Amino acid sequence: MIQPNLLDYSKGLLNRSEGERIKAHIGRCEECAALLAEEASFDRTLARLPEEMPANDVWALIRVRTKPRRFRPLAALEIMVNTRMRRVVATTATMAAVIGAFFIVNWPTYQPPVQPTNVQVNVVAVSDEPLAQHTDAVFDVIEKM
């Protein structure tokens, strides 16, 4: 486990015992000594590069895409289309439309069914003798005795 820690060793980030152990190893291992030199050289090269800002702010783009969105009715409706609520809403709306159309079409002429009244004209009495039917009924009952 010498080579993975060479870069941290070159930057003095290891503790003392680990640093002593790698220092002792490099003194007797040419391969690790050469790798250390190459790591240090590359690190220095990176340090010399100018610090540049990316042309596109990637984080800004990410924030835009991940922040909570505003409520959009059409989008919500679109989502509902794929749910069971869609079917409930669609059925209710269809029934309301059918009932509404029925009343709109029939409103001017629609009349509730006429209920028969309790009092119906079943006897017409002549004004000259309005009790004639009653009188005849009395005679009829007496005659049939």
Number of residues binding to other proteins, judged by CB under 8 A: 28
Kindly tell me which of 62 and 125 has the beta carbon lying closer to other proteins.
125
CB atoms within 10 A of CB 103: 9
Binding pattern for the stretch 80-119 against other proteins, x by CB under 8 A and - elsewhere: --------------------------------------xx
- Least distance in Å: CB of 132 to other proteins? 7
Kindly tell me which of 1 and 142 has the beta carbon lying closer to other proteins.
142
41 and 51 Cβ atoms separated by less than 8 Å: no
CB atoms within 10 A of CB 37: 13
Per CB under 8 A, contacts with other proteins among 113-142 are 118-142
- Least distance in Å: CB of 114 to other proteins? 17
- List all residues 6 or more positions away from 25 whose beta carbon is below 8 Å from its beta carbon: 2, 32
Kindly tell me which of 75 and 132 has the beta carbon lying closer to other proteins.
132
The residue assigned the tokens 């709109």 is 104
The residue assigned the tokens 């509404």 is 100
- Least distance in Å: CB of 105 to other proteins? 38
* Token representation of residue 48: 């010399």
CA distance 22 to 9: 8
The residue assigned the tokens 């005849």 is 136
- Least distance in Å: CB of 112 to other proteins? 23
Question: Which residues of this chain interact with other proteins, rule CB under 8 A?
Answer: 118-145
